[in-house]
Amino acid sequence: METAILKSPFKSEEYFVNMGPQHPATHGVLRLLLTIDGEVIKKVEPDLGYIHRSIEKMCERDSYQQIIHLTDRLDYLSAHINNEAVCLAVENALELEVPERVKVIRTILDELTRIASHCLWWGVMGMDVGALTTYFYGFRDRELINDIFEETCGARLTMNYNVPGGLRHDIHPNFVKRVKDFVAHFKTKLPEYDRLLTGNIIFQKRTKGVGVLSKEDAIAYGASGPVGRGSGYSCDVRIHHPYSALHKVNFNEALQTAGDAFARYQVRIQEMWESLSIIEQLIDDIPEGAIQVATDAVIKLPKGEFYQKVETARGELGVFIISTGTKNPYRLKLRSPGLSNLSLLNHITVGSKIGDLVAAMATLDLVIPDIDR
């Protein structure tokens, strides 16, 4: 007896769906044009430029001191590190050696910035896949760092504390104690992150095997930061091209080889532990001395091309300056980690479901102003 073959009267058809520009999973004003067949993604096309402010062009108009405050409006969760990148580029061009006290303070603030950024990422990462509680835990710990920033730098988000040649002013008398108190506190809270989310079987099923990026593709797409290191690509600027006081400390580069969303998650958790270690190695040994070296009131770089890169919370930020010897750059180009990381979104999500797109995109940790410059 032959078995009857039932044919569905419904025909599959591709649809175009907008995700964003105002969408909670895009973490900013980003529009994704999705081509889908049912729930299956056929293509992802990012549409950028909704908050483009022409910052690079504005830098050609401003002096080198004025440029600093523009960079903390890019990746605002790595504001202090962005500021430092421009300062280092200017200082290297002028062959200025800043005091050791400045180098150590900058590095401590860098790692506090990294932890604060990862806390926010961890909170919204959990929320993106349905775990609302993580948001409150992550912001609870991030607020302690913001309080330190506010007391020391005068701002909680866009610090603008670095200046060419040093720091705008010295650290607050409470700085060392508050940083040490935070380190002690956070060491007890990071294990909570693992108990709440990392070891959660539902979270693991949402992230393991999702958004897989091979090491070769990570290199080909120019991925950096935790995105690249989640695929086993050793790309930490702090390791390969140390700056400020990083030559004084020992720490491990956070690497995973699976290349999926869960691997990128693990890298950021490990990075928070390593940042705590860096801070502990420096906080009791902040050198005495000046917080600035003298510079001209109007800074003019020598003619030439200068490049400086740093490791932000999202990856490699590069600052490329072309100088003609005047008080403002002839050209300033920023190498954004977010743009390179976003470029691989289509590659890692085609063939997966819309829910997987949200999980994979969360582990890219996009900050859209970093892309829309």
**265 Cα distance to chain centroid:** 13
Q: What is the pLDDT along the chain (373 residues), one digit of tens a residue?
A: 444 444 556 667 788 888 878 887 788 888 999 999 888 999 999 998 888 888 989 989 888 998 998 988 888 999 999 999 999 999 999 999 999 999 999 999 999 999 999 999 999 999 988 888 999 999 999 999 999 999 999 899 888 899 999 999 999 999 999 999 999 999 999 999 999 999 999 999 999 999 999 999 999 999 999 999 999 999 999 999 999 999 999 999 999 999 999 999 999 999 999 999 999 999 999 999 999 988 888 889 999 999 999 999 999 999 999 999 999 999 999 999 999 999 999 999 999 998 899 999 999 999 998 898 8
Contacts of 69 (CB under 8 A, 6+ apart): 158, 160
Residue with tokens 């980690």: 337
Burial class (CB in 10 A: 0-12, 13-18, 19+), 93: buried
pTM as predicted:
0.92
Domain assignment of residue 305, yes or no: yes
Domain assignment of residue 141, yes or no: yes
Instruction: Fill in the DSSP letter of residue 214.
Output: -
Domain assignment of residue 61, yes or no: yes
C-beta atoms surrounding 97 within 10 Å: 12
Output the domain CATH number for residue 106: 1.10.645.10
Domain count, the chain: 1
What three-state secondary structure class fits 18?
Answer: strand
Asked whether 77 and 120 are in contact (CB, 8 A), the reply is yes
Domain assignment of residue 18, yes or no: no
Residue with tokens 């990381």: 341
Residue with tokens 């008080």: 327
Phi and psi angles of residue 161, each rounded to the nearest 5 degrees, phi first: -95, -30
Contacts of 146 (CB under 8 A, 6+ apart): 116, 156, 157
Domain assignment of residue 279, yes or no: yes
Domain assignment of residue 235, yes or no: yes
Domain holding 341, by residue range, is 53-371
d(CA 101, CA 122): 32
Q: Where are the alpha helices (DSSP H) in 38-166?
A: 55-59, 64-71, 79-94, 100-128, 133-153
Residue 162: CA count within 13 A, CB half-sphere: 35
d(CA 342, CA 240): 24
Q: Is 225 left (phi over 0), alpha (psi -120 to 50) or beta?
A: left
Residue 42: CA count within 13 A, CB half-sphere: 10
Domain assignment of residue 48, yes or no: no
Domain assignment of residue 332, yes or no: yes
Per-residue pLDDT, 10: 62
By C-alpha distance, which of 255, 254, 316, 252 is closest to 278?
252
Per-residue pLDDT, 131: 87
